[in-house]
Amino acid sequence: MPKLEGLDYYRRQTRPTNPFIWLAAIFCAILTVVVIVTGVVVFVGYIVIRPKVPFISVTSSHLDKIYYTEAGELTTQITIVVRAENDNAKAHASFSDMDFTLRFDGIVVAQLVNDAFDVKKNTSVDFNYVVESSPIPLDEQAMALMDMSLKQNRITFGLKGNARARWKVGLLGSVKFWCHLNCQLSFFPSNGSSTYSYCSSRSKK
Ligand SMILES: *[C@@H]1O[C@H](CO)[C@@H](O)[C@H](O)[C@H]1NC(C)=O
Ligand SMILES: *[C@@H]1O[C@H](CO)[C@@H](O)[C@H](O)[C@H]1NC(C)=O
C-alpha cells in the first residue's frame, strides 16, 4: 500500500460522511434528549408528588387464650391488627400475596393470608386477624421455653412474612416491591395484653 502524505492524506480523510454515520449521530442525539427529558420528568414528578413508600405494620395484638397441657400441647388464640398504610396524597397502592407466619420458638402456630386489596390515596386499611391454632405439639426445647415464659409472665411469638406492594405513581408508572415484616410479639400471659413494640416493614433491624 502506498504511503499517504500531506494534502493527499488530508483529502482522503475528509471525504463525504457516510449517510449511515449521520443517521447514527442523529439517533444518538435524539436518544440523549429523550433520556434527559425522562430524567427531568421523573425528578420533577418526584418533587411534586413526594412519594412515600407504602408499608405494612402491626398496630396492636392481644393474646386472647393460651392453653398449655402437661403433655406439651399448645392451643392459643391471638388477635393481630395488621395495617397497610399509604401516606401518599397522590398515589394509589395495592397489596397482594400477603402471607405471614406466626411461630413460637420456630414452630408454626398459624398462617395469616389475605386476598389482594387496594389502599386509596392518603389512607390505611386495617385487618383484624383472629388467629386460632389447633393444638400444637411442642418439642422439648419449645416446652422448656414455654414453661419459662409462663413462669416469667412473658411470652413471645414471631410474626414473619411478606406482602407484595404495587404503587401507582401517576404518570411515573407503577413500582412493585416486596414488604418484609419481621416482628416479635410479646404478651403477658396473665392478662393477655401485649408489651407494645412498634413493628413495620419500614423499620430495619
Ligand atoms: C391526609 O390525611 C391526613 C390525616 O389523616 C390529613 O391531615 C391530611 O390533610 C391528608 N392529606 C391530604 C392531601 O388529603
Ligand atoms: C397486664 O399485666 C401486666 C403485668 O402483670 C401489667 O404490667 C399490665 O399493666 C397489665 N395490663 C392490663 C391491661 O391490665
Average pLDDT value for residue range 98-119: 92
Which residues constitute the domain of residue 183?
A: 55-200
Q: Is the CB of 193 under 6 A from ligand 2?
A: yes
Question: Pseudo-torsion of CA 192, 195, 198, 199, nearest 10°?
Answer: -60
Q: Give φ, ψ of 119 to 5 degrees.
A: -125, 115
Q: pLDDT-based confidence at 204, cuts 50/70/90? A: very low
Q: How many domains does the chain have?
A: 2
* Residue 205 located in a structural domain: no
Cell of 187: 404478651
Q: Best substitution site from 188, 190, 194, 196 to test ligand 2's pocket, by max atoms within 8 Å of Cβ?
A: 188
Which residue has the least CA distance to atom 8 on ligand 1? 122
pLDDT in tens, 8-57: 555 556 666 788 888 999 999 999 999 999 999 888 877 776 777 889 99
Name every residue whose Cβ is closer than 8 Å to that of residue 170 and which is 6 or more positions away in sequence: 45, 49, 90, 91
Q: pLDDT-based confidence at 105, cuts 50/70/90? A: very high
**Could you give the CA distance from residue 11 to residue 14 in angstroms, rounded to a whole number?**
5
Which residue has the least CA distance to atom 8 on ligand 2? 193
Do 71 and 126 fall within a single domain? yes
* Residue 41 located in a structural domain: yes
Contact 157/145 with Cβ under 8 angstroms?
no
pLDDT in tens, 121-165: 889 999 999 999 889 999 999 999 999 999 999 999 999 999 999
Q: pLDDT-based confidence at 4, cuts 50/70/90? A: low
Percentages of the chain per state (helix, strand, coil), in multiples of 5: 25, 45, 25
Q: Is the CB of 121 under 6 A from ligand 1?
A: no
Do 124 and 176 fall within a single domain? yes
Do 28 and 74 fall within a single domain? no
Do 21 and 86 fall within a single domain? no
**Could you give the CA distance from residue 96 to residue 99 in angstroms, rounded to a whole number?**
9
Do 45 and 71 fall within a single domain? no
Do 95 and 153 fall within a single domain? yes
Which CATH number do you get for residue 91?
Answer: 2.60.40
Q: Is the CB of 188 under 6 A from ligand 2?
A: yes
Residues of the chain above pLDDT 70, percent: 88
